[in-house]
Chains A and B, each alone.
Chain A
Amino acid sequence: MTSFKTFLLAAPFAFVAFAPTISLAQDFPADLVEKGRYLATASDCVACHTAKGGKPMAGGLAIDSPVGTIMSTNITPSKETGIGNYTEAQFSDAVRKGVRADGANLYPAMPYTAYSFMSDADVHAMYAYFMKGVAPVEAKNAETSLPFPMNIRASMIGWNLLFRNNTPLSDDPKQSAEWNRGRYLAEGAAHCATCHTPRGAFMQEKASLNLSGAQVGPWYAPDITSDKVTGIGSWSQDELVTYLKTGRLAGKAQAAGSMGEAITHSFQHLTDADLKAIATYVESVPSAHPAAAATGATRFDQGKPVNELAALRGKGFDNGMKGAHSGAQIFSANCASCHGFNGQGTADGYYPSIFHNSATAGSNASNLIATILYGVERETESGHVFMPPFGDQPNALTQLDNVEVASLANYILKDYGNSKLTVTAHDVGVIREGGPKSDIVTLARIGMGAGALVVLALIAMAVILPRRGRAGADKANA
């Protein structure tokens, strides 16, 4: 979710001048500030608004997008460089309507469409937290300059008219209090749909396909509906809570990419009651598929422990790399030390098995390729999980090229994962470049002649599609 980086583009330089100079010397009670902190955690503001190694909420995270590098902004209460001059109404408009204090529109990479479901009381608490609970940091926002026509913020006005929700969520009296709390958090602060819901023609979230899976840059946010086959309907509530608390469910799935960040910064810090509520709601979200389709193996129970080492042992590494078993050779040499020579992981499950693993058996190979290229990183109370990347990051100890990653991925898919899939070097290149994307700038420029609506759609695509977020950001920061 957090790779949906904010497009609060280069705003403060402009709006400091326009900002009203009223006093904000309000006093907020400590419990209100604390409530706001909790909601800001649930909203995972810190993930996007903090640079790697930087001060919390001070912005400066570089986000690669197909249309250029975007810098997240300083949302600390600094009056000079942050949002210290925002009134509560201005704060609320930014969070829930995507409108900056100076009236300019935010791009919906800032998930205001989700935050729009949050109540006035909760936004009030968040405001209290951002004004009193966050340390002001004097850090000028790094300027972001996107090429024409991506710099036309006004086009978002039309998009908002069409797709923005304008009212907080009200409880469904037919459902339990727990379900309602879960829906409020999942659809609002935790903004699950931002990543997990597919987009329509104008890159709006398609409500009918809520949480049924979508590409997020190099990663694929999988189907988390109640579908027993394609979704997580086979998980118990406890299992989903365990996953959100720890980022993993042994023998089934691990959080990586943006979800790893969401676990690290957000979910693990929520109360058990709220995690249970989220689980209750998420597991009620209907499948996007006809009921009849719900048969077959899930992405959690495919593959088996095998190896091809009898074709390799004693015959030399170079031979192995040249032959039909190059994928097995790459797996053995680079992966098997932790994941086992049969892909079985360690006996304690700390290093996950490669079979019975959603990362290798998804409906597409994005997460498998992205895991290889970008690794896995998340920190929870139980420790700092780190699988090194095998891409072209500065800190990648071993760098595999596209052909090697494809060979490796195909070996894994064949025996351990979704055996219906195969991967080409080109597919790997797409993920290496940050995920599927279109030549958005060119198209948009052509689109200027074809009518505003096309432009609108393309701009929206530019905003939604990038999601290279973390991967690209690592490149820029490491």
Chain B
Amino acid sequence: MTRQSRDPFGQLMLSRRSMLLGSATLIAAAHPALSFAAVDSAAETRFMRLSTLLINHQLNPDIGARIAETATSQYKNFSPMLDAIIAIAEKKQAKTVEDFFTDIPDGELKDFAHWVIFAWYSGCSSEKRDAKVFTYEEALTFKTTSDVVTIPSFGFSGPNLWTRPNLPLSAPMPTF
């Protein structure tokens, strides 16, 4: 992944991200202190499976472990709900969330599915002041606009080099 300064912006971001996510499992293995004791690893794995079914993007398993940890304490049916939603998706041989999401029955299961999506996109367990924070910089909301909007507190470009054209909504979204 040699950096070329003239790489188109999107491609560069993509290549970095691919590298990050591609190696994410290895990273988790390489950081023993990053495993989270509160959730057993099998549940973590199933939670990541659920998450990748609900979200059509690559996800950092370290963050997944944090979300799973909170989900375990917040949802007493955590484990059966995991299994139930995964089963619905597998029955549909779902490749993307659109393939099966409407099949999740309203109520506890759908609410949980929405919560999982909420957690990945906002990085938090709720909108409130006492929310648990799983991630800030990798919250998916920022990835949807990473080509034209700063993740606040992280630099975007060299000094005074951030002039950009006004992208139409039809412009492609960054891949993440």
Contacts and interface: CB of A to CB of B under 8 A. Distances in A.
Q: Do chains A and B touch in the complex (CB under 8 A)?
A: yes
A344 B20 CA distance: 10
Contacts of B111: none
Nearest to B32: A324
Interface in A312-347: 313-314, 323-325, 336-338, 340-342, 344-347
Given A313-B136, A314-B133, A350-B158, A305 B16 contact: yes
B137 A346 contact: no
A308 B34 contact: yes
B154 A353 contact: no
A342 B20 contact: yes
Given A314-B134, A356-B3, A306 B161 contact: no
A400 interface: no
Interface stretch (B4-12, B75-83, B165-173): B4-12
A348 B33 contact: no
Most buried by B among A314, A342, A351: A314
Interface string B20-62: 1001000100010110000000000000000000000000101
B19 A346 contact: no
A347 B12 contact: yes
A250 B3 contact: yes
B89 interface: no
A365 to B, nearest CB: 20
Given A309-B135, A346-B157, 12 more contacts: A304-B19, A305-B19, A306-B20, A310-B65, A323-B33, A338-B155, A347-B13, A349-B5, A350-B159, A356-B1, A356-B3, A383-B158
A324 to B, nearest CB: 5
B33 A305 contact: no
A46 B58 CA distance: 53
Interface of B: 1-5, 9, 12-13, 16, 19-20, 23, 27, 31, 33-34, 60, 62-63, 65-66, 123, 132-138, 153-159, 161
A310 B4 contact: no
A286 interface: no
A337 B154 contact: yes
Nearest to B63: A310
B2 A301 contact: yes
Contacts, number: 92
Majority DSSP secondary structure for residues of A touching B:
loop
Contacts of B16: 305, 342, 344
B133 A251 contact: no
Contacts of B19: 304-305
B153 A337 contact: yes
B140 to A, nearest CB: 14
30 contacts: A250-B3, A250-B5, A304-B1, A304-B19, A304-B23, A305-B16, A306-B23, A306-B27, A308-B62, A310-B60, A310-B62, A310-B63, A310-B65, A310-B66, A311-B34, A313-B66, A324-B33, A325-B33, A336-B154, A340-B155, A341-B137, A344-B16, A347-B12, A347-B156, A347-B157, A348-B161, A349-B3, A350-B159, A350-B161, A356-B2
B152 to A, nearest CB: 10
Contacts of B13: 347
A337 B158 CA distance: 12
A379 to B, nearest CB: 13
Nearest to B21: A305
Contacts of B133: 313-314
B113 to A, nearest CB: 22
B1 to A, nearest CB: 7
Nearest 4 interchain pairs by C-beta: A350-B158, A251-B3, A314-B133, A310-B62
Given A306-B20, A313-B135, A341-B137, A250 B154 contact: no
Contacts of A250: 3-5
Contacts of A346: 155-158
Contacts of B161: 348, 350
Interface string A283-314: 00000000000000000010011111111011
Contacts of A336: 154
Most buried by B among A342, A347, A349, A351: A347
B11 to A, nearest CB: 10
A314 B157 contact: no
A347 B159 CA distance: 13
